[in-house]
Amino acid sequence: MIDKLKNFYDKRKTIILLVLLAAAIALPFLIDKGSVMSIIVRILFYVILASSLNIINGYSGQFNIGHAGFVLIGSYTLSILAHMNWPVWLLFLVAGVVTSLVGFLVSLPTLRLRGIYLALVTLGFSEILRLVALNWTSLTGGPMGIKGIPTPWFFGLRASSPHNYYFIVLLFVILCLFTSHRVINSKVGRAWMSIREDDHAAMSLGVNIAKYKSINFMFGAFWAGVGGALMAPFYTFIDSSMFSLDEGFNILSMVIIGGQGTLIGPVVGSVVVNLTTELFRFANEARLLIYAIMIISMMWLRPQGLAGTSRSVIANRSLGRDRGAFFRKLFKKKEVK
Amino acid sequence: MLKKILVIVLCLAMLVGVFAACSDKAEDNQEPGATAAPEENTEPIKIGVAAPITDKWAEYGKGFEVATQMAADKINGAGGINGRMIELVVMDSKGDPKEATDIARRFTEDEDIIAVVGDFSSTCCMATAPIYTEAKMVQLSPTASHPDYAGMSEYMFGVMGRQDAEGPFVAKYLANKYLGSEKLAVLYLNNDWGVAAHTNILKGAEEIGLEVVALENFVDGEKDFTATLTKIRQTNPDTLCLVMFYNEVSIISKQIAQMGWDVQVCALGPGTSEQIIELGGEDVEGLATSTPFYVTEEDPVAWEFKTEFESKAGFTLNVHSACAYDALTMVAKAIENLGDNVNREDVAAQLAGMKDFVGITGPIVFTADGDVFRKYKIAQIENGEWIQMTDYDYAD
Amino acid sequence: MYLLEQLVNGICQGSIYALMAIGYAVIYGVVGLVTFTYGEIIMMGSFSAFYYFIIFGDNLVFALIAGFITAAVVGIVVHKVCYQRFLDAPRYISLICTIGMSMFLKNFATIVFGSEMKGMPAFMSGKYIELGSIRIAYMQLLIIGVVIVLSLLLTVYLKNTRMGMKLRAVSQDKKAAALVGINVKTTTLIGNCIGCGLGGVAGVLLGIYYNSVLPTMGGMAGLKAFSAMVLGGLGSIGGAAVGGTLIGIVENLGIAVTSSGLRDVFAFLLLVIILVVKPQGLFGKKGN
């Protein structure tokens, strides 16, 4: 059934996208409760975060479970510089760039590593960043965090309410998805996917693994940083406990549930996970049990995620089907030297 | 083609409908700012409770939940507020300022909720202050003790007692006068509360010239303190002041005993927690602590509260839950004083003007900022029990 | 002298990490999958001892057995849910499953056991040996002893018994083991349960040593156990023990110089450096 939806989408792409865009812009005018709007804004935040993680995990096959660390850098960069009176609009970009540099640094020692070793290093970095933020009180406020983060001006209005802030976040979500889409369908994206499928084969075909792995980390980190930067003014307060390992797992679960390696996967994942936790709010402790069961069930029933198709490599791998065909098709566009 | 467009429009309509339904589910829509001006109103009065019911402060959140419900039940049993029953709306903030902010939005948008009791941590309270202030809604925190919190607006109140009263008390009276300390070491929990608490201890120590020979901290969750304790021991203090909650106090006491280190230990934070005695056994003998109140059998009201709380919550009473009980009682009293004209804004003025409230935790009178300067007592563990030290002129 | 004291502290604490890591090494060696549930299995072992003490009284040996059995049983559940289906699938699927399972166990424990800290009866408290001015408690010696004895026992078991041989074969190459007639499914299960049981034993000792049992105690414990194992070399039991001890030493020396808040920074820095310099760990045998 999901395959049928995909077919439907492929044929009417432009119209569907325009309609969705119109609906997205109209949404704040249809909903008048700020509390509902802030849930929607939160969903959008996680769309960016999950997409950025998806770039790394889903497209290049590198296993990053320390994504919270990148989000942390973005959030703190914006918050610290905003208190030094830098303009907030600019800071979204600056935060992304700074995080991207950190992403580059993290990628350096990991270029030779794969699988669980890579995952552990990313985890280690994420925790180190969090603990440094917790302890470096003079810079980050330590356990007291940073409060009073200002919101940006938006056509002469302070964008502090969920209804107004929504538009800023929506803008960045569209930018994120758009740029991701372009990059994935470019030479860079194809290089990533070849690394994901079989990096030895890719190397033998002349793909510079190190360079593309780094670019991949930098791109994913950039958007994670932007996402983190967007969150800070909305909540007006950040501290290191917001970027724990559990938060990283939270983002990871959205990517997995939504579907790795597809553009719409993180969107679906963010919506599903955030809506579920909201709907089950009344259950208190049981809410997390339900979340856990949801994750386990997804892995049992549909490991490629909700938006992953059964033509996906992941589904095939878990069923043992031939992936050679996929790989060959991938390389039809690339020159074989 | 037309059919496809229709399908899309239908899907979108459904989506919007779902959202609209979600938002209408819990709350009724009234015009903002409407005051309930009833002729004969018997509808329940809703009071919001924000607490960290899950995640790392779960036991304190649960304590809030139990204590506020007990207070509400007691008031309802006596006829409610002017004939109207109290209904609590409890939401779990997980100790996360993001969640607390979302809860604040929900509470302020629900026209029936008059005031809020919560949150547990100063961080959450300070993060939500702008939202409540804009809605002119009272947030009465049982436990926020950061000196900057209550002053944020006329709607922010705190019941626990400011850290800049307890800190200096511990330094000047507990450590110096009572325990006779001349070289103090301080070990504190590195979170927002711990930082505020120990900074005030240091300030108090400086004012009387008490030398602080060692200052160490740890992060929440730490279990092995031998390295830190060894480090502190090197500086040879005569008294070690622990700024943390009951679990770490008992662990550290045990490790001190294991090291064979004979040092006087005092604590700020756990109050007269019985869990310390349960967990620490003979290793906590002699531990002295500051506490704003002390429950004995001689005070039948408080003792009854304690026994009832313990049977409902499943763990022993701590000062945080007692404050939550008082907080709810106070808010109910303030609402009661409004008579028929129950609205949000006036609750703040009522609370600020209340001069004769005495709760389980003692008399509560708000300062101009909206918090309380408590008077503290000293209690020490003797023979496995907390004994209040009463023959000191500052212990009133 | 002071540094020597901290070094001894480090070794004692490291032995606790080592104790946890041994079980993990067995699981990873045999099942071949990384798991995030190990911390929660330690926690369940701890709680089972807590309830054992309440119901049956203070008997350390029986409590250890209770811990072993409980953890092994939980291990069976974890195996059926998270490993069995996914032995041939991409690694991340079982990993995510274990993340979900760990969340489930943690919250289940919070709901059923309560979130407040619980204490254990004290064993051998107040008894210690003295080396100069340094004191080592009997409990610490017991833990170090258990680590050494368990490592030796396990190594002997794996080398010299039939089951041990099967476990080793499965850990080296599942397909080849199947070809030789070994029931891979059952062997994997048994290996997992032994590893989990060891984790349960570690949990009991951990709970007694710190006198602190919490549903959330699994998180960091699992991470440290995992780090110790990777440090020592994936699947190597002796390596895991050494890795744990090394982490303990580095952490304590680091704290001695800076502050306790940075403990985990030192642990993770050590991990990252070793992974970058020598990914297969100190005693790692097989290449990735």
- Answer yes or no: is B171 within a domain: yes
Domain membership of residue C16 as a residue range: 2-277
Query: Does the beta carbon of A150 lie under 8 angstroms from any beta carbon of chain B?
Result: no
Partners of residue B46 on adjacent β-strands: B87, B113
Query: Does the beta carbon of C212 lie under 8 angstroms from any beta carbon of chain B?
Result: yes
- Answer yes or no: is C285 within a domain: no
- Does one domain contain both B128 and B264? no
Which pLDDT belongs to residue B383? Answer: 86
Which pLDDT belongs to residue A156? Answer: 57
For chain C, percent of residues with pLDDT exceeding 70: 98
* pLDDT (tens digit per residue) in C214-245: 998 888 888 899 889 888 888 788 889 999 99
- Answer yes or no: is C273 within a domain: yes
Q: Which residues of C touch B251 (CB under 8 A)?
A: 210-212
Query: Which CATH number do you get for residue B208?
Result: 3.40.50.2300
- Does one domain contain both B132 and B257? no
Determine the average pLDDT of the residues in C172-176: 83
Query: Does the beta carbon of A317 lie under 8 angstroms from any beta carbon of chain C?
Result: yes
Chain A: closest CA distance from residue C219 (Å): 10
Angstrom distance (rounded) from CA C13 to CA C11: 5
Chain C: closest CA distance from residue A92 (Å): 28
Instruction: Closest CB to A235: pick one of B58, B101, B192.
Output: B101
CB contact under 8 A, B23 and A147: no
* pLDDT (tens digit per residue) in C252-261: 988 888 887 8
**pLDDT of C132 over the 80 cut:** no
Query: Does the beta carbon of A236 lie under 8 angstroms from any beta carbon of chain B?
Result: yes
Angstrom distance (rounded) from CA A222 to CA A172: 12
- Answer yes or no: is C190 within a domain: yes
- Answer yes or no: is C288 within a domain: no
* pLDDT (tens digit per residue) in A176-209: 999 999 998 888 888 888 888 777 777 787 778 8
Domain membership of residue B318 as a residue range: 44-161+300-363
Domain ranges of chain A: 1-30, 31-287
Number of domains in chain C: 1
Cβ-contact C37, C103 below 8 angstroms:
no
Where residue C131 falls among pLDDT bands split at 50, 70, 90?
confident
Cβ-contact C266, C251 below 8 angstroms:
yes
Measured on CA atoms in the order B57, B58, B60, B61, is the torsion positive or negative? positive
Which pLDDT belongs to residue B16? Answer: 53
Which pLDDT belongs to residue B26? Answer: 39
> Is the peptide bond preceding residue A32 cis, with omega within 30 degrees of 0?
no
**pLDDT of C285 over the 70 cut:** no
Which pLDDT belongs to residue B144? Answer: 87
Is the CATH number 1.10.10 carried by domain A31-287? no
- Answer yes or no: is C72 within a domain: yes
- Does one domain contain both B215 and B304? no
CB contact under 8 A, C255 and B314: no
Q: Which of C184, C143, C192 is nearest to C26 (CA)?
A: C192
- Please give the residue of chain B at the shortest CA–CA distance from A135: B190
**Per-position DSSP letters for C157-194, written without gaps between them:** HHHHSHHHHHHHHHHH-HHHHHHTT--HHHHHHHHHHH
- Answer yes or no: is C286 within a domain: no
B190 contacts: CB under 8 Å, gap ≥ 6: A134, A135, A142, A143, B217, B218, B219, B220, C261
- Does one domain contain both B259 and B312? no
Q: Which residues of B touch C216 (CB under 8 A)?
A: 56, 221
Which pLDDT belongs to residue B171? Answer: 86
Which pLDDT belongs to residue B36? Answer: 44
Number of domains in chain B: 2
- Does one domain contain both B157 and B168? no
Mean residue pLDDT of chain C comes to 87
Which pLDDT belongs to residue C279? Answer: 77
Q: Which residues of A touch C34 (CB under 8 A)?
A: 116, 119
Angstrom distance (rounded) from CA C121 to CA A206: 64
Best mutation target among C27, C272, C273 (most A Cβ atoms within 10 Å) is C272
Cβ-contact B189, B249 below 8 angstroms:
no
Question: Which backbone phi and psi does A153 adopt, to 5 degrees?
Answer: -85, 145
- Answer yes or no: is B224 within a domain: yes
- Does one domain contain both B252 and B388? yes
Q: Which of C123, C83, C86 is nearest to C101 (CA)?
A: C83
- Answer yes or no: is C172 within a domain: yes
The helix or strand, by DSSP H or E, that contains position C258, with its residue range, turns out to be: none
- Does one domain contain both B324 and B387? no
Determine the average pLDDT of the residues in C92-114: 89
- Answer yes or no: is B307 within a domain: yes
- Chain C residues contacting A via beta carbons under 8 Å: 34, 81-82, 85-86, 88-94, 96-97, 99-101, 103-104, 107-108, 110-111, 219, 223, 226-227, 230, 259, 261-262, 264-265, 268-269, 271-272, 275-276, 279, 288
- Please give the residue of chain C at the shortest CA–CA distance from A118: C275
Count of CB pairs separated by less than 8 Å, A with B = 89
Query: What phi-psi label fits residue C233: left (phi over 0), alpha (psi between -120 and 50 degrees) or beta?
Result: left
Best mutation target among C211, C213, C223 (most B Cβ atoms within 10 Å) is C211
- Does one domain contain both B135 and B212? no
For A289-331, what is the HEC assignment?
HHHHHHHHHHHHHCCCCCCCCCCCHHHHHHHCCCCHHHHHHHC
Instruction: Please give chain A's pLDDT, 337 residues, in tens.
Output: 666 776 777 777 788 888 888 888 888 888 888 888 888 999 999 999 999 999 998 888 788 888 999 999 999 999 999 888 888 888 999 999 999 999 999 888 888 887 778 888 899 999 999 999 998 888 888 888 888 788 887 665 566 778 888 988 999 999 999 999 999 888 888 888 888 877 777 778 777 888 888 999 999 999 999 999 999 988 888 888 889 888 998 999 899 888 888 888 899 999 999 988 888 877 777 888 888 998 899 888 888 888 775 444 444 444 444 445 544 554 454 443 3
Which pLDDT belongs to residue B373? Answer: 82
Residue that has been written with the tokens 């004769």 in this structure: B356
CB contact under 8 A, A30 and B20: yes
CB contact under 8 A, B126 and A131: no
Q: Which residues of C touch A109 (CB under 8 A)?
A: 272, 276
The chains found to touch B (3+ Cβ pairs under 8 angstroms) are: A, C
Residues 61-120 of B with CB under 8 A from A: 91-92, 95-98, 101-102, 105-106, 109
Give the number of other CB atoms < 10 A from CB of residue A54: 30
Angstrom distance (rounded) from CA A14 to CA A16: 5
Residue that has been written with the tokens 């041990």 in this structure: C164
Query: Which CATH number do you get for residue C244?
Result: 1.10.3470
Q: Of residues C201 and C85, which shows the higher confidence score? A: C201
* pLDDT (tens digit per residue) in C12-54: 889 989 999 999 999 988 888 888 999 999 999 999 999 999 8
Question: Which backbone phi and psi does C125 adopt, to 5 degrees?
Answer: -80, 145
CB contact under 8 A, C135 and B247: no
Q: Which residues of C touch B221 (CB under 8 A)?
A: 216, 219-220
- Does one domain contain both B155 and B169? no
CB contact under 8 A, B260 and C110: no
Q: Of residues B29 and C265, which shows the higher confidence score? A: C265
Cβ-contact B149, B156 below 8 angstroms:
yes
Instruction: Please give chain B's pLDDT, 396 residues, in tens.
Output: 444 444 455 455 545 545 544 444 434 433 343 444 444 567 889 999 999 988 778 889 989 999 999 999 999 998 888 888 999 999 988 888 888 988 999 899 888 899 999 899 888 898 898 889 989 999 999 988 887 888 888 899 998 888 888 888 888 887 777 888 889 999 999 888 888 889 999 998 888 888 999 999 998 888 889 889 988 998 999 999 999 998 899 899 988 888 888 899 999 988 888 888 888 888 888 898 888 877 777 778 888 888 899 898 888 888 889 999 999 999 999 998 888 888 888 899 989 888 888 888 888 888 888 888 888 888 888 888 888 876 554 543
- Answer yes or no: is B223 within a domain: yes
Q: Which residues of B touch A135 (CB under 8 A)?
A: 190
- Does one domain contain both B157 and B249? no
Q: Which residues of C touch B60 (CB under 8 A)?
A: none
- Answer yes or no: is C282 within a domain: no
Query: Does the beta carbon of A31 lie under 8 angstroms from any beta carbon of chain B?
Result: yes
Query: Does the beta carbon of A291 lie under 8 angstroms from any beta carbon of chain C?
Result: yes
Task: Read off the pTM.
Answer: 0.85
Which pLDDT belongs to residue A321? Answer: 41
